[in-house]
């Protein structure tokens, strides 16, 4: 599937300010592909050949070292990954795999670099995208450094609760192994954190969680827009 077959992609923030001739060039080189669950898209240490944009589904970014593996982030629509590696013509610092059936836009790295050098509107959009990624990384770093494991879990549950309509019940969007990795915990530590949160109205039934004391949970979590608000 070619990019030109999906004209609505022209409205994505990355491409809105792009010159028509440059967008036409990208359209010739880029394409959309649908991947099944658990397909590895990139491997850390390999050269960044494409910029990836998640259009549908979800992609897990992860890394390994010394026999250990850690989930670094989950990329949902509409999100990009390895933009910095593409612009620097560098190797990937992480790997990526789909967590569900996903549609991903793949744009050759050299075409991105050429457009960045020649298209002022596109360059501004890429800089904003990089700035958003940087700020998200700082927030996650603060979350890991400044909060206990229980506080990190409490804030994540409150975020899921808000995202899912704030009805007092949530469904975990990932399995507990992935959730633990995202929060910088082992699965055993996650289980203990859930046990601690029972006194704050958190009741777990598999992937379904009932929250019966939002005020108490919020008092424990102490969310702040400087960590938890996606818009800051």
pLDDT, averaged across the chain: 93
Q: Is the dihedral of CA 117, 120, 121, 126 positive or negative?
A: positive
* Predicted pLDDT at 4: 62
- Beta-carbon contacts of residue 104 (< 8 Å; ≥ 6 apart): 32, 33, 34, 35, 41, 52, 53, 54, 55, 57, 59, 98
- Beta-carbon contacts of residue 87 (< 8 Å; ≥ 6 apart): 112, 113, 116, 126, 130
- Res. 15: pLDDT tops 90: no
> DSSP character for 232?
-
Residue 187: pLDDT band (50, 70, 90) is very high
- Res. 150: pLDDT tops 80: yes
- Res. 1: pLDDT tops 70: no
* Predicted pLDDT at 2: 62
pTM of the model: 0.87
Dist. CA 231–CA 136, nearest whole Å: 10
Q: Is the dihedral of CA 64, 101, 132, 149 positive or negative?
A: negative
Domains in the chain (CATH in brackets) are 3-144 (2.60.120.10), 148-228 (1.10.10.10)
- Res. 115: pLDDT tops 80: yes
Dist. CA 131–CA 87, nearest whole Å: 14
Q: What is the pLDDT of residues 16-66, one digit of tens each?
A: 889 988 888 888 888 889 999 999 999 999 999 999 999 999 999 999 999
**What are the beta bridge partners of residue 68?**
65
* Predicted pLDDT at 16: 86
User: Residue 119: which of 186, 31, 23, 43 has the closest Cα?
Assistant: 23
- Report the percent of the chain where pLDDT is more than 70: 97
* Predicted pLDDT at 26: 85
* Predicted pLDDT at 103: 94
Q: What is the DSSP string of 60-129?
A: EEEEEETTEEEEEEEE-SSEEESHHHHHHT-B-SSEEEESSSEEEEEEEHHHHHHHHHH-HHHHHHHHHH
Query: Which phi and psi angles does 44 have, rounded to 5°?
Result: -60, 140
């Amino acid at each position: 599937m070619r990019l030109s077959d999906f004209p609505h992609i022209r409205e994505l923030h990355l491409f809105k300010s792009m010159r028509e001739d440059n967008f036409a060039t990208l359209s010739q080189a880029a394409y959309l592909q649908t991947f099944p669950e658990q397909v590895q898209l990139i491997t850390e240490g390999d050269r960044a050949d494409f910029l990836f944009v998640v259009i549908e589904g979800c992609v897990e970014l992860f890394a390994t070292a010394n026999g250990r593996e850690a989930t670094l982030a989950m990329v949902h629509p509409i999100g990009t990954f390895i933009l910095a590696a593409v612009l620097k013509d560098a190797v990937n610092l992480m790997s990526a795999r789909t967590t569900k059936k996903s549609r991903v836009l793949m744009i050759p790295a050299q075409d991105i670099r050429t457009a960045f050098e020649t298209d002022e509107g596109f360059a501004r959009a890429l800089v904003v995208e990089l700035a958003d990624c940087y700020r998200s990384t700082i927030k996650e770093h603060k979350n890991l450094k400044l909060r206990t494991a229980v506080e990190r879990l409490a804030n994540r549950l409150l975020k899921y609760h808000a995202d899912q309509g704030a009805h007092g019940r949530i469904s975990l969007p990932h399995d507990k192994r992935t959730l633990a990795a995202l929060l910088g915990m082992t699965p055993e530590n996650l289980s203990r954190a859930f046990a601690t949160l029972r006194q704050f109205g958190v009741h777990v039934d598999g992937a379904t969680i009932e929250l019966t004391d939002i005020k108490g949970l919020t008092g424990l979590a102490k969310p702040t827009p400087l960590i938890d608000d996606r818009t800051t």
